[in-house]
Amino acid sequence: MVASGAGDATAMQIYSFRGGAASWFGTQILGVLITVCTLGICYPFAVVLVERWRAKNTYLHGRQLLFVGTGWGIFGLWLKWLLLCIITLGIYTFWVYPRLMQWRVEKTVYA
């Protein structure tokens, strides 16, 4: 996305992303291993790993983003959500995703 002022010949880039395939692939593999080996219980730690990679490679107005969330910061909620998803045979996932996304956004700040 590019924005420029009225009559400004130079355009200022609002967002930029500088991540590469190799680091993304490694991060994803590690996240999957963490999740699978713990049967989903440690999924919050995988989310933090991926979100830190995303923020580290994302720039807004030339400033790098920083993800300040921790796996322990959402671990209790995750256990509750996981239990509710099991009890409701997956129906509760419709409520989990928006809450998890809200947490991700709230924990992403300028570096």
**pLDDT of 49-83, one tens digit each?**
999 999 999 999 999 999 999 999 999 999 999 99
How many angstroms separate the CA atoms of 14 and 12, rounded? 6
How many angstroms separate the CA atoms of 42 and 107, rounded? 18
Tokens, residue 3? 């924005």
The whole-number pLDDT of residue 4 equals 46
Mean predicted lDDT score pLDDT of the chain: 90
Instruction: Look at residue 52 and tell me if it is in a domain.
Output: yes
Number of domains the chain contains: 1
Q: Please report which confidence band the pLDDT of residue 111 belongs to, taking 50, 70 and 90 as the band edges.
A: confident
Q: Please report which confidence band the pLDDT of residue 38 belongs to, taking 50, 70 and 90 as the band edges.
A: very high
Instruction: Look at residue 42 and tell me if it is in a domain.
Output: yes
The whole-number pLDDT of residue 9 equals 45
Tokens, residue 104? 């991700």
Instruction: Look at residue 6 and tell me if it is in a domain.
Output: no
Give residue 35's domain range. 13-110
Instruction: Look at residue 1 and tell me if it is in a domain.
Output: no
Instruction: Look at residue 38 and tell me if it is in a domain.
Output: yes
> Could you write out the DSSP letters of every residue in 18-86?
---HHHHHHHHHHHHHHHHHTTTTTHHHHHHHHHHHHHHTEEETTEEEEE---HHHHHHHHHHHHHHHH
